[in-house]
Structure 1
Amino acid sequence: MTAESVPPAWMHQQITAELYDSLSEEQAQGIEIVDGMVVMVPSASLQHNRLAKKVAVALEAAGAPEWFADLDFDVRLHDVPLTVRRPDIVVYRASAVGAAPMRPEHILLVGEVVSPGSETTDRVFKPEQYAGAGIPFYWRIEQSAAGVPLVHTYLLDLAARTYRVGDVHAGVVEAAAPFPVKIDLTRP
């Protein structure tokens, strides 16, 4: 084992916001922080990234100029214990460009594309954390047995800080909220 393959000591201890903020972009890439502990996030497949990109591009076109959509960047859900997630899709206020760290109050919608190995995290843990942080909409995107993408939409019940189940779209998303959008996920 080479010195380069040994994880740094900070990956084995509880991370504070100050320590996380001191990490380089390269060090922070590929990790999330949950309750202060480092969680490794594997690289996504090309199919996963294409699906996320299609949804993000359509959401940005529908929400602009007030809302932008991007892929895979840090969202600071809590400072203590530190919780930083990297949603696959983030729709955020255009006025928040440059905000560091990006906080839930800047975010309208987060989306996760479920991959092998992320099923429980994307179906249970992340929605619970996003709802607890007050993010109004959550979309979960999965491949059906027939190979057609399914988009499960959720709306925040602010009083309960949980998501209510919305619609399930097969292949083509025609949603009225958070703004009218039509996304055909059946086309390459």
Structure 2
Amino acid sequence: MSDSPRLPDWVFPPPEGFTAADLDHIPDLPAHTELIDGSLVFVSPQASFHMRAVDLLTDGLRRHIARDLRVRREMSLILGLRQRPEPDLSVIRAEAERNPDQTSYEAQDVLLVVEVVSPDSEERDRKRKPQLYAEAGIPHFWRVENNAGRPTVYVYELDPATKAYALTGIHHDRLKLALPFDIDIDLTEIDTL
């Protein structure tokens, strides 16, 4: 008889991988676990820059978006059978809030996703997740990079013909846009957070 603790069942994925629906039923799964390509992805503790950038953009978005939209932090999106990433921020249609116990949103309810790149998620945030968001038809994507403690926001818009994102702007000190809605955020305010 072994004295070592028993590993949770989710350590051993099924042969076909996990599904988006499985995420709500796996006991003792670490918080903010994502599902990408049928595999569980665990999130490392976030650095101060990451949290301050998310706070800055959350506040800025909430000040500018229309009443029929909502800003949500760290809620997973069901993009397909084996795809359920958790962006740092999402702007969703208000009617997507179907019940208070909801743990995810459907891709068709999402207008914008935002990923703040961390060292452990560079590959996912720069390559795989934007590809998944575009394939799911989410019209807008922002990638936020740490540039000496200040956010640089890369703004992308979906080309519906190619189902790929096209870069529409790079913003350093101020994020001022007309699409997907009129917005003006002073990115240097991160220094006061």
Same fold (TM over 0.5): yes
Aligned partners of 1:120 and 1:35: how far apart in 2? 14
Q: 1:51 to 1:22 in 2, by over 3 A?
A: same
SS at 1:27 equivalent: coil
Aligned AA (2:18): I
Q: Which has the higher contact order (CA 8 A, sep 6+)?
A: 2
Aligned partners of 1:103 and 1:129: how far apart in 2? 13
Aligned AA (2:44): P
For residue 68 of structure 2, what is the aligned residue in structure 1?
66
For residue 95 of structure 1, what is the aligned residue in structure 2?
95
* Structure possessing the higher radius of gyration over alpha carbons: 2
Whether 1:83 aligns to 2:83 is yes
Aligned partners of 2:143 and 2:19: how far apart in 1? 29
What is the number of equivalent residue pairs in this alignment?
182
Aligned partners of 1:51 and 1:97: how far apart in 2? 25
Deviations 1:36-89 (A, max 9, x none): 11111212223211211211221122113011112111111112xx11101001
Aligned partners of 1:124 and 1:94: how far apart in 2? 29
Q: TM-score, normalised by structure 1?
A: 0.88
Whether 1:142 aligns to 2:142 is no
Q: TM-score, normalised by structure 2?
A: 0.86
For residue 11 of structure 2, what is the aligned residue in structure 1?
11
Query: How many angstroms does 1:135 deviate by?
Result: 0.4
- Structure 1 residue runs without a partner (length 5+): none
Aligned partners of 1:141 and 1:154: how far apart in 2? 11
For the 8 Å contact 1:56–1:90, the answer to whether it is kept is no
Aligned partners of 1:104 and 1:28: how far apart in 2? 23
- 30-39 or 97-106, which moves further after superposition? 97-106
Aligned partners of 2:68 and 2:7: how far apart in 1? 41
Q: 1:129 to 1:17 in 2, by over 3 A?
A: closer
Supply the RMSD in Å over aligned alpha carbons.
Answer: 1.9
For the 8 Å contact 2:30–2:42, the answer to whether it is kept is no
For the 8 Å contact 2:44–2:120, the answer to whether it is kept is no
For residue 59 of structure 2, what is the aligned residue in structure 1?
57
For the 8 Å contact 1:76–1:83, the answer to whether it is kept is yes
SS at 2:105 equivalent: coil
Q: Which runs of 4+ in 1 moved over 4 A?
A: none
For residue 107 of structure 1, what is the aligned residue in structure 2?
110
